[in-house]
Chains A and B, each alone.
Chain A
Amino acid sequence: MHPTTLGSARLTRLSFSRSMIRRAASNNWKIERTSIDLDECGRGQIIYRVEAEDHIFHFVAFTTTIDESLHTDRVIADGWEISAALVEGELSENLLNFLATEVPKQETSRLDSRVLSITRGNRSVRFYEYLVNRLASGFQPEAEKVGDAGYIMRSTAFYGNGKFGMRSFLGFPPDHPLAAPYRAQFLAAWLFRETSYDSVEYCAQIRSPEKAVAFDEQWCRFFGLGNATGLGLIPWAMKHPKKLNAWVSVRELALAGVRALPNSVEHRELLEEWIEQGHQHFASFQGEDRWPWMGPDSLSEVILGIRDVFSSMDSEEFPFDALYLWAEEQGPEITELVVSLLLELDETSDDEVDRLLRVDNSDAPDLLMTVGDLNDKIAEEYFWLDDLDLESSQASHYWWVISDNAEEPRRAERSVINPEHRDVAIDFALRLNQLKNDLKKADCDIKVTQFLQDLPHHGIAVNRTVKDSGPYSEPRENVCDLDHLPLNLQRFQLAMYGMDNFKAQSTDWLRVTLFQGAPRIAELCPDTSDRWVWPQQPQTDQRSSFL
């Protein structure tokens, strides 16, 4: 896929936050807060228990306060106000003590396979105290004071899949309720968001037992979980071509299905409802464009245009295909907005999507492939390399490195720091180009394994090309190029996760929210609607504000 297309992707019904809630609701997961022990500043411990399809999980959050000057969106912080873990099994005293010792350490923790995911974050400096005081005084928040925030707490990382000794993703049997990509992390994220609500409501109750109120219905769903995302997503995307292919493929398969739908009142009305929900959402959020993306004001205008165009297509035999074809001519952001709307009509079963997303990266090497075969494969599948100007000096401007502080991925200028042995080998476009050049000089009849005996430095590029990772496996860009924009790949991944409100802070990092509009745990039941996304910003209750 083209980088700017990836960089315009939006949350869809296939996003992991949505599919996690659907699975939890349809399988009647029972989730309850079993313990809350906080002081009036919100310091202490909260525990949730999850009963899901014959499995027991616990989410344990340790909370404290740290000086505001120590809050950071980067992974490098020494401490966080919230650190938490999702574990499988009953929570013994021993396990709880183990978690209390290890989880706050995060990147320096040593965990084991009982632990499925760990996370951490901080409160919103602006809003946490305000919200506690407001509820403690018996009032709901004032929309104009907190409406633009969208979250009470902000996370900076969700670790899982074998990191620090945690259980590996492929260690879940296929029928396990968390056997879909990132499902453990998203259950943790949802409960992190619940922690933020519970923390505020509980502190308000402690401070003012007589007057305190809980969040009302509209505020109960409005706050999501904030997230700040940096460069770590780029190495992940580049190193997992099969997963990237699976993520794009499920979208493309679903989109093809929707485009093939014939005209029907039922589907037309459903799309119109989603268009209206999107319009209400963007119009209520407000906000100008923020480079490189449209803001809510523009999106609210754009979605009205989409509505008008779609209403003019009501006599088309295939109106959804017609809408998509129109959108393709309007640029990537409008295309992807239309795609996210159209995908709401998709009815692919979640089990099927989960199955398609569960990808094993291990592959048996092909010992029979010849250099000639590989040449053909590269010509057929990697033609796009020719568009990247890989021989120019700017093509290798950056190299990727991991900092010694919390292993933060960064990029460095080659002319300023020599990579020596420290480069993270995600320079695939450059490597593939060099491989292509050297293959031209090699005997076409020899086996690729023989070629590699002479030129072992091509191993990474060869492995990349000989694997059948699928048609959408390559981001088709050079991440070492001077003009590489990390935001594109970051946004695609974040959209697949189910994040929204993309606010780029620079070329290299952005802030987002997730689970805005999602049900609280007490609301979860088989009837829970999947239409919780795109909430409207609540309005201030004038009666309580001026009491």
Chain B
Amino acid sequence: MNAVDEMFDQTVLVAPREVRDLIQRASRVKGCEASVADHLATKVTFCEVHYGGGIRGWLQLVSEDTNCLSEVVASAQILDSLPANDVSEFSWNSPIPFVLIAKSLSVLQTYGFTWSCDPTPITGDALVRCVYLTQETSADHLLDDKMQKALSDGLKVNYADWKDLTNIAAEFLLSEEILDNSGSPVYE
């Protein structure tokens, strides 16, 4: 097995920006408005770097019903705001993947909130039914060593997931033939 085959055997090394770019494009393909896709791309990239399973969590969402992606994203948006109370509980009738809330919880940590989930998620594709938030006088912040390592060395992601994501994201691109026939300005 040569180096290239080995690299692609189970996992592939990618840069964080590639995850972001592909999720953004693929989310557009799956019906999200540009701002929603952008927001989602930030969440998935964060989760993939810090917990893993972010891409798989996103793939699970789109495999079920292509039209519901924006709605599921919206259902998690409550955690993008500061809770009104020092102790709060948020629950979803249909559990949502941790990838949708990992980044929001990290931001809330910087405002002094500690969190726990039910069930306790390990990776981004884990389904979460309920989140508990408590305001503390001081809270631990997530260290960004993992992001620094991903930027420096690359991020190992599941190859099959990466391939699936790449294929979906490719639909974001427009055929050159259509562009040429439309008279789109081009050089030469």
Contact = CB atoms under 8 A, between A and B. Distances in A.
Interface in A161-177: 161-173
Contacts of A169: 151
Contact of A460 (B16, B17, B35, B172): B35
What DSSP secondary structure best describes chain B's contact surface? helix
A416 B8 CA distance: 41
Contact of B35 (A94, A171, A425): A425
Interface in B1-23: 3-4, 7-8, 12-18
A243 to B, nearest CB: 14
A173 B184 CA distance: 42
B183 to A, nearest CB: 7
A453 B77 contact: yes
A421 interface: yes
Contacts of B15: 113, 161-163, 165-168
A456 B174 contact: no
Given A72-B188, A452-B77, A113 B35 contact: no
A74 B74 contact: no
Interface string B57-85: 00000000000000001100110111000
Contacts of A72: 188
Interface stretch (A34-42, A125-133, A404-412): A404-412
Contact of A425 (B34, B82, B110): B34
Interface string A139-167: 00000000000000000000001111111
Contacts of A113: 13, 15, 152-154
Interface stretch (B25-33, B86-94, B120-128, B131-139): B25-33
A113 B12 CA distance: 12
B152 A165 contact: no
A168 B35 contact: no
B38 A460 contact: yes
A207 interface: no
A112 B176 contact: no
B107 interface: yes
A408 B184 CA distance: 12
A410 B81 contact: no
Interface in A413-452: 413, 416-417, 421-423, 425, 447, 449-450, 452
A65 interface: no
B116 interface: no
Q: Which of A404, A408, A412 has the most CB of B within 10 A?
A: A404
B151 A170 contact: yes
Nearest to A406: B176
A508 B35 CA distance: 27
Contacts of B184: 401, 410-413, 417
Given A73-B187, A101-B4, A449-B81, A417 B178 contact: yes
A365 B107 contact: yes
Contacts of B179: 401, 403, 410, 412, 417
Contact of B31 (A401, A421, A463): A421
29 contacts: A72-B188, A74-B186, A165-B15, A165-B18, A169-B151, A170-B151, A171-B151, A173-B152, A367-B111, A401-B174, A401-B179, A404-B176, A405-B176, A410-B186, A412-B184, A416-B182, A417-B178, A417-B184, A421-B29, A422-B173, A425-B38, A447-B82, A449-B82, A452-B77, A452-B80, A453-B80, A453-B81, A459-B36, A509-B187
